[in-house]
Amino acid sequence: MNTGIDVVAAFNPIGDIRPVYVRIEDENHVLKTCKIENVTNKKTEKYSGINAVLFSCSVQYDSQTKEIRLRFYCDSHKWVLVI
C-alpha cells in the first residue's frame, strides 16, 4: 500500500534528489515533522511502468530511529510512503 506524504527534498547541481524531512501522521491524526537522518539505499525503478526512485531512509520518530521507504514519482513529482 502507498500513502501520499509531504517531503522536503534537496537537489544537487546535477539534479540528484535527496529527501531531508518527512511529515508523518500519527495514530491520533497529528502531523509530525521528522528529519531524515540517513538515506541507506536509493534505487531507480519503473513502478507499474512509471519512472520512480525508491529511497530507504532512517528517521527519528518519537525518540526512536525507524526505517521507512519513500517512493518519488519523477513525472508527477509526487512522494508516497511505501507500506
Q: What would the pLDDT profile of 67-77 be if each residue is shown by its tens digit?
A: 999 999 999 99
Which residue in this structure is represented by grid cell 509526487? 78
pLDDT-based confidence at residue 53 (cuts at 50, 70, 90): very high
CB-based burial, 11-26: b 16+ in 10 Å, e otherwise: eeeeeeeebeebebee
- Each domain of the chain, given as residue ranges in start order, spans 2-82
Cβ proximity of 70 and 82 under 8 Å: yes
pLDDT-based confidence at residue 3 (cuts at 50, 70, 90): confident
pTM (predicted TM-score): 0.90
